[in-house]
Amino acid sequence: MPANVELLGIARTIALRAGDLARLRRAEGVEIAASKSSLSDIVTRADQEVEHIIRGAIAAARPNDGFYGEESGAETGSSGLTWVVDPIDGTVNYFYGIPSYAVSIAVVEGDPDPQTWRALAGVVVNPAAGEVFAAAAGGGAALNGQTLHVNHDTELELALVGTGFGYDATRRERQGRVVTELIGRVRDIRRIGAASLDLCGVAAGRLDAYYERGLNPWDHAAGALIAAEAGATVGGLRDARASSDLVVAAEPGLFSRLNPLLQEFHRDDW
């Protein structure tokens, strides 16, 4: 089994190359290739092209590892490791030219299931901002080589909380009602539009907390490790691990104050 820092090096090299391509394609103009779960859930030709080069580079570097990507699906490997990839997280931002999108690459031990995997290394590159967030399990988290630490001792009423909304209109309405319940109890809400950058925002102290329901594994695989390595508590509903039911990341004290509220607001299955 390679060391986590070796895996991180592979992830970083590939993510930087993928980020350069994403930025180039954005400058050339972005075309929608298809829509997925709804008309607003788009995939661009750049998403597909970027994932293609990521998948090829990982196969060349780690031919026996598994792959699980947003656009090209899953392939089981024989090594016990799986690369979990969102080629362009924040696709709608990318399509509109909003400079908050990211290449997210993580490598996990075990099945690509957030309920059971052990994340070993993760990289989130925001090409528009020239920011590289990275973490190896047990090795801390960094932004462009500078060590990251979450905020601490944040009271709920002074917490800046990130969240996001799904592509299904009915779910978005429910998520909007959760924001209505929460916004008067915290400092303010931010909707950045890319879960990986939200989670890296918690790691960097740009957000005190982040939560979202309905995320796919590739949305949070790398960012959750980066947040955890920067000192955040990362979890899901009640004592569950982060999953599509709910992803919550916050500095530990705030997590214990925020999580009961989020459990109450997400008590129903919707």
88 within 8 A of 126, measured Cβ to Cβ: no
Question: 164 or 217: whose CB is closer to ligand LIP?
Answer: 164
Stretch that binds ligand LIP, among 72-80, 137-145, 162-170, 232-240 (CB under 6 A): 162-170
Give the shortest CB-191-to-ligand LIP separation in angstroms.
Answer: 7
Q: Does 159 bind ligand LIP (CB under 6 A)?
A: no
Number of residues counted as binding ligand LIP (CB under 6 A) = 14
From the number of C-beta atoms within 10 Å of its C-beta (0-12, 13-18, 19+), residue 7 rates as buried
Give the shortest CB-72-to-ligand LIP separation in angstroms.
Answer: 14
Of residues 95, 83, 127, 124, the one with CA closest to residue 217: 83
Give the shortest CB-132-to-ligand LIP separation in angstroms.
Answer: 18
Non-local CB neighbours of 268 within 8 Å, separated by 6+ positions: none
Backbone angles phi, psi at 189, to 5 degrees: -115, 145
Find the binder of ligand LIP among 95, 133, 165, 255 (CB under 6 A).
165
Fill in the per-residue mask, 195 to 234: x = in contact with ligand LIP (CB under 6 A), - = not in contact: x----------------x------x---------------
Q: Which residue do the tokens 């989020």 mark?
A: 262
From the number of C-beta atoms within 10 Å of its C-beta (0-12, 13-18, 19+), residue 102 rates as buried
> What residues make contact with ligand LIP under the rule CB under 6 A?
70, 86, 89-91, 164-167, 193-195, 212, 219
